[in-house]
Amino acid sequence: MAIFSRYRNDDKLGFNYQYGTSRSMSVVRSAISLGVIPIVETITLSENQRLDQLAAIYYKDARFWWVLAAASDIGWGLQVPPGTIINVPDINALASVII
């Protein structure tokens, strides 16, 4: 069984540095605020939903929970209170911004 870590390079997004770190989160936040990365969907978190579960649904990879956190201006917690607005950015646009 493979062990996945958010602290290794990721081929899917083409990161040249560790993803899910404060550096990559700030890049994502900046690109979204500048309109470079579009938000494809906005959802309201319901009871018992977690960011890793949503990342698995939208990105087919739970390790990208931090993308949802960055886009939604959330810190590092996977468990966020119900009613929190979650922005789902376009993963393809994200890949073109991160170098």
4 within a domain of the structure (yes/no): no
Total of domains in the chain? 1
Q: What number of helices (H) and strands (E) belong to the chain?
A: 4, 2
Note whether residue 10 is domain-resident: no
In-domain check, residue 3: no
- Cα separation, 22 vs 65, in Å, equals 14
Q: Measuring CA to CA, which residue among 96, 97, 75, 94 is closest to residue 84?
A: 75
Q: Walk along the chain (99 residues) and give the pLDDT tens digit of each residue.
A: 334 444 455 555 554 444 455 677 788 888 888 988 999 999 999 998 999 999 999 999 998 898 899 899 887 666 789 999 999 999 888 877 765
pTM: 0.74
Give the domain range for residue 62: 22-97
Domain assignment of residue 34, yes or no: yes
